Chains A and B, each alone.
Chain A
Amino acid sequence: MILGRVVGSLWCTRKHAGLGTYKLLLVRPYFYYDPSHETEQVVAVDTVGAGVGEDVVVCLGAPARWSLGDANLPVDAAVLGIVDRCQLQRVAFEGGAPAREGGPRARPLAPLGAQPPRTVEWIE
């Protein structure tokens, strides 16, 4: 799964019959993730009622399809839950300082200038 922020939604009139009732959300991932989905935004089916501005967890691949009850749907991403809060080690996000004495330098998870998750609480 990946952590991302809902930045919008999209709708359409002509679509696969099985997708009739699902809301589609535009989600911007906070971190690099699966190389086959290396885009700035991913479109995910909403199953929990998420709104713009909320942090969400998105499930990718076949499990996202099966969770909608039909293995034949053309879906490969689904919102799994809405994030109330998350904790993250600051050293893992920013990189630089050794995580522990004598340990290797941490490589930053986020590219330079990237925003941390909206709901983050730092673990120092």
Chain B
Amino acid sequence: MIRGVVVGEVWGTRKAAGLDGRKLLLVAVERSDRLVVGVDTLDARVGDRVLVTWGSGARNVLQPGPGNRGVLCDAAVAMVVDGSSDPPAEEGECSSGA
């Protein structure tokens, strides 16, 4: 899993089955210059720090169980972070300043 900050949102009417009604968030990966699109189930807002699950495990956030292989998803918000014990980011280290 990776930590990130929600920096935006994506809307689309034509989506793969299994993602109907799901929000897609733009998440800036913390301490890098990367941005990923993640499915949201926890109603995260812009500015929230989140934990994103990568790869095959992400489908389990949307639909637990062995029958979820048809869900087209490789990144999902698994947690909205309230706090962590690591030191604050240095100048220029954090991707969106949260």
Interface residues of A (CB under 8 A from B): 1-3, 30-33, 47-49, 57, 59-64, 66-67, 69, 71, 78, 80-89, 91-93, 98-100, 103-109, 123
Contacts and interface: CB of A to CB of B under 8 A. Distances in A.
B21 to A, nearest CB: 12
A107 B7 CA distance: 13
B26 A3 contact: yes
Give the interface SS of chain B, mostly helix, strand, loop or mixed. Answer: loop
Contacts, number: 157
Given A63-B55, A67-B72, A48 B15 contact: yes
Interface string B1-34: 0000101111111111001000010101000111
A106 B93 CA distance: 7
Give the interface SS of chain A, mostly helix, strand, loop or mixed. Answer: mixed
Interface in B18-60: 19, 24, 26, 28, 32-39, 46-47, 55-56, 58-59
Interface residues of B, number: 47
Given A61-B56, A62-B56, A87-B8, A81 B94 contact: no
A1 B25 CA distance: 10
